[in-house]
């Protein structure tokens, strides 16, 4: 019988604000990460500071925000009212302190609970806040939340506003690196939601005149739009809608009080419902909801009094009320869409006709596929019960049982040895493994029918649960884990083609990654260094001196589970798969996966020459 553990007053601890944030950072900023994912903590830190500057603009001051990220240092400067000078220290270091508790000052604010900048402060090795107003300034510097310097009031000729500088703590955010693409996407969303606001990032200016219409213009190429973007606005709501000619699934961009709700919520659910209801009534037909929404690309932004989000990172709206004298979120959105969209379709017959043709086409395709889909679903269900193609993880949802777990990951591997190594090394709570059998089919230019007829694609689609909408995605991170050789590269390309062809929003929303694993192991009796490039191998040999043992990993299966655990654990290296917004998806697929063309041959030859020249220089 085990000895009873003592439980006394000595077991009870009281943590101050900064200790609690540093011990439980996930409660405040979601997952940590290294910057390879758009929802990693280092971007949430930027967002938390930016939200305060955005609120100043919303309140009618500060039309320009300047942001600089150089290496690991972030600087955000706005020209709003400036923090009241006597409260500069308090608002960044005392919990439950801030102007947003006063509804007269911030009626429809992005940040509500006064936690954001405190979290940034506590999780930074350097944090400085400076406020200027009424010809005077005050500043304070902190280290890991501890005040180390405070300047008294001084006269200044600088423009009013607030400047925050910080450096994230690299003991919490390990091996982190800011990726400009993620920052730019965040900033673009801010300007789409705040027409008239200018954000300058590292000297580059971002500005929007047409709000969510500009967002969709940047999201879907004009040639791929079935009809011109429908853009409708109200006092506390804005929507933009079009349908894609080539995309299969639904794509939504939703926002609340300027916050990008990447996991939707009550407003997005109401929007999807309102579109179906309005279109059915307009045409007088009981069309299937999936036929109406198939290929839709849309955006919605609403403003709510004191919104309730389902996490500190505010990725999903939980509020059912608009606040004040307004009706519920569902009723408000339904009434707006019914009125405005119905009027628009009556006034724009060409758009209405194009939309109806699209719905009828979707209906025909659904009926043609109905038998195949039913059989495919039965096969997928049977496969998940009786084979080991998918080795699932235990947790897909957060504790709320409503949100997708930000840490949930599906590794897509090829071959028994590679999948075996990952399976033995993985965290069974959050990491799942899907094992491919051989190379996937090149599905470029094929119809959705192939997804159901091809066993690999059908089972992968079922494992991800993305047939109808990205909202249902079971894993936050989808990681392609293949060997770093020609065959492995080819498999990567074929899988990326699958997602681009049928589920491009998986890539657009930043869910697809490539796993980086070491090419070499260099070790002596005292130390082991894993190298991801030829240069790292040379550096490791120099560091260890003498004649260290050098192993070249030819494939994932050659890495033992004991070693693999390092490469998919805290030190995991992921390269996000990103789309070049300047090139339409169809153009990318045609160039890389279509029939051989002189242009592609020239591209391969030129890039091969550059690679050979680089190798020769290294020698």
Give the pLDDT confidence of 142-161 residue by residue, as tens digits. Answer: 999 999 999 878 888 889 99
More confident residue, 97 or 503: 503
For residue 613 the two structure tokens come to 């020249």
Give the model's pLDDT for residue 438.
80
Q: What is the pLDDT of residue 400?
A: 41
373 against 150, higher pLDDT: 150
Residues 6+ apart with CB under 8 A from 193: 211, 212, 255, 258, 301
Q: Is the pLDDT of residue 475 over 70?
A: yes
State the average pLDDT over residues 449-471.
84
Task: Give the angle subtended at the CA of 476 by the CAs of 475 and 477, to the nearest 5°.
Answer: 95
Q: Report the range out of 281-285, 414-418, 440-444, 483-487 with the highest average pLDDT.
A: 281-285
Angle, helices 585-593 vs 598-618, to 10°: value is 80
Of the pLDDT bands very low, low, confident and very high (cuts 50, 70, 90), residue 113 is: very low
Query: Which is higher by pLDDT, 455 or 401?
Result: 455
Whether the pLDDT of residue 30 is over 50: the answer is yes
Question: Which has the higher per-residue pLDDT, 382 or 252?
Answer: 252
How confident is residue 564, by pLDDT bands cut at 50, 70 and 90?
Answer: confident
Q: Beta strands of 84-135 (E only): which ranges?
A: 124-133
* Joined tokens for residue 223: 């040639």
> Residue 536 burial by CB count (10 A; 0-12/13-18/19+): exposed, middle or buried?
middle
Residues 6+ apart with CB under 8 A from 7: none
Predicted local distance difference test score (pLDDT) of residue 269: 92
Q: Does the structure show a pLDDT above 50 at 401?
A: no
pLDDT of residue 387: 63
Query: What pLDDT is stored for residue 399 in this prediction?
Result: 43
**Predicted local distance difference test score (pLDDT) of residue 547:** 87
Residue 380 has pLDDT above 50, yes or no: yes
List of long-range contacts for 453-456, beta carbons under 8 Å, 24+ apart: 453/372, 453/376, 455/379, 455/383
Tell me what the pLDDT averaged over the chain comes to.
Answer: 84
The continuous run of DSSP H or E covering 120 comes out as: helix 116-122
Identify whether the C-beta of residue 401 lies closer than 8 Å to the C-beta of residue 310: no
What pLDDT band is residue 388 in, cutting at 50, 70 and 90? low
CA separation for the pair 344, 227 (Å, rounded) = 13
- Residues of CATH 3.30.230.10 domain(s) within the chain? 212-366
Residue 96 φ/ψ, nearest 5 degrees: 60, 35
Average pLDDT rounded to a whole number, residues 234-256: 90
CATH number of 387-517+555-582: 3.40.50.670
User: Residue 312 — very low, low, confident or very high, per pLDDT cuts 50/70/90?
Assistant: low
Share of the chain above pLDDT 70, in %: 85
Q: Are strands 64-70 and 198-201 parallel, antiparallel or unpaired?
A: parallel
Provide the token pair at 526.
């005292």
- Give the model's pLDDT for residue 347: 96
Looking at the structure, give the CATH architecture of the domain made up of residues 17-207.
Answer: 2-Layer Sandwich (3.30)
pLDDT reported for residue 105: 44
The pLDDT assigned to 153 comes to 82
DSSP string for residues in 54-73:
HHHHHTT---EEEEEEETTE
Check whether domain 212-366 has CATH 3.30.230.10, yes or no: yes
Looking at residue 369, what is its pLDDT? 81
Q: What is the mean pLDDT of residues 437-457?
A: 85
What confidence score (pLDDT) does residue 360 get?
95
Q: What is the phi-psi region of residue 324: left when phi exceeds 0, alpha when psi lies from -120 to 50, beta otherwise?
A: left
Look at 107-111, 419-423, 475-479, 554-558 and tell me which has the smallest mean pLDDT. Answer: 107-111
Tell me what pLDDT residue 226 has: 94
Residues forming CATH 3.40.50.670 domain(s) in the chain: 387-517+555-582
Which is higher by pLDDT, 268 or 58? 268
Name the more confident of 534 and 418.
534
Q: Is the confidence at residue 165, as pLDDT, over 80?
A: yes
Query: Which among 22, 20, 16 is positioned nearest to 41, based on CA atoms?
Result: 22
Stretch 65-82: mean pLDDT, rounded?
95
Write out the DSSP string of 578-604. ---TTS-HHHHHHHHHSS--HHHHHHH
pTM of the entire structure? 0.81
Q: Give the residue range(s) of CATH 3.30.565.10 domains in the chain.
A: 17-207
pLDDT digits (tens, 9 = 90+) for 566-583: 888 877 888 898 876 656
> What DSSP element (H or E) covers 217?
helix 212-219
Per the CB < 8 A criterion, the answer to whether 365 and 355 are in contact is no
CB contact at 8 A, 305 and 322: yes
More confident: 74 or 324: 74
Average of pLDDT values for 97-126?
A: 66
Report the pLDDT averaged over residues 65-77.
Answer: 96
Q: What is the pLDDT of residue 612?
A: 43
Report the C-alpha gap between 198 and 194 in whole angstroms.
9
Burial of 147 (0-12, 13-18, 19+ CB in 10 A): middle
């Amino acid at each position: 019988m085990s000895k009873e553990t003592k439980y006394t007053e000595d077991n009870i601890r009281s943590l101050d604000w900064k200790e609690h944030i540093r011990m439980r950072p996930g409660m405040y900023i979601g997952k940590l990460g290294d910057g390879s994912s758009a929802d990693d903590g280092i971007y949430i830190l930027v967002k938390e500071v930016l939200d305060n500057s955005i609120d100043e603009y919303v309140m009618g001051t500060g039309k320009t925000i300047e942001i600089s990220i150089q290496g690991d240092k972030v600087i955000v400067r706005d020209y709003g009212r400036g923090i009241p000078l006597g409260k500069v220290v308090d608002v960044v270091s005392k919990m439950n302190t801030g102007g947003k508790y006063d509804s007269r000052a911030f009626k429809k604010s992005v940040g509500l609970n006064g936690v954001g900048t405190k979290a940034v402060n506590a999780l930074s090795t350097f944090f400085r806040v400076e406020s200027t107003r009424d010809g005077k300034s005050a500043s304070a510097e902190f280290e890991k939340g501890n005040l180390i310097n405070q300047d008294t009031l001084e006269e200044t000729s600088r423009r009013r506003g607030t400047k925050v500088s910080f450096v994230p703590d690299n003991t919490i955010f390990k091996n982190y690196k800011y990726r400009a693409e993620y920052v730019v996407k965040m900033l673009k969303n801010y300007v789409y939601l705040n027409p008239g606001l200018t954000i300058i990032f590292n000297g580059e200016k971002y500005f929007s005149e047409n709000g969510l219409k500009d967002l969709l213009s940047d999201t879907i190429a004009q040639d791929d739009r079935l009809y011109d973007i429908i853009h409708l606005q109200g006092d506390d709501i804005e929507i933009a809608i079009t349908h894609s000619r080539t995309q299969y699934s639904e794509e939504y961009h939703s926002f609340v009080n300027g916050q990008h709700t990447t996991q939707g919520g009550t407003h997005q659910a109401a929007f999807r419902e309102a579109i179906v209801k309005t279109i059915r009534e307009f045409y007088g037909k009981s069309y299937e909801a999936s036929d109406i929404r198939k290929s839709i690309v849309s955006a919605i932004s609403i403003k709510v009094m004191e919104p309730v989000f389902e996490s500190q990172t505010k990725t999903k709206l939980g509020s059912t009320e608009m606040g004040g004298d307004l009706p519920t979120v569902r009723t408000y959105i339904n009434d707006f869409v019914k009125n405005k969209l119905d009027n628009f379709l009556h006034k724009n017959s060409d758009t209405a006709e194009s939309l109806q043709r699209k719905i009828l086409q979707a209906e025909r395709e659904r009926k043609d596929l109905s038998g195949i889909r039913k059989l495919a679903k039965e096969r997928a269900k049977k496969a998940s019960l009786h084979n080991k193609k998918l080795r699932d993880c235990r947790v897909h949802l957060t504790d709320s049982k409503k949100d997708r777990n930000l840490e949930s990951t599906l590794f897509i591997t090829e071959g028994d040895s590679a999948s075996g190594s990952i399976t033995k090394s993985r965290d069974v709570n959050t990491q799942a493994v899907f094992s491919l059998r051989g190379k996937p089919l090149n599905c470029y230019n094929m119809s959705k029918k192939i997804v159901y007829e091809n066993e690999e694609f059908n089972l992968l689609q079922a494992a991800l649960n993305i047939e109808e909408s990205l909202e249902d995605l079971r894993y936050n991170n989808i990681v392609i884990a293949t060997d770093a050789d020609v065959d492995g590269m080819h498999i990567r390309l074929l899988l990326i083609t699958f997602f681009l062809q049928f589920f491009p929003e998986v890539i657009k929303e930043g869910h697809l990654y490539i796993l980086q694993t070491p090419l070499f192991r260099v070790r002596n009796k005292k130390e082991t260094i894993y190298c991801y490039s030829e240069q790292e191998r040379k550096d490791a040999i120099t560091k260890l001196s003498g004649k260290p043992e050098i192993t070249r990993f030819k494939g994932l299966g050659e890495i033992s589970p004991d070693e693999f655990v390092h490469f998919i654990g805290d030190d995991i290296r992921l390269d996000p798969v990103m789309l070049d917004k300047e090139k339409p998806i169809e153009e990318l697929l045609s160039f890389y996966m279509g029939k051989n063309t002189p242009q592609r041959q020239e591209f391969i030859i030129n890039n091969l020459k550059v690679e050979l020249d680089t190798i020769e220089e290294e020698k």
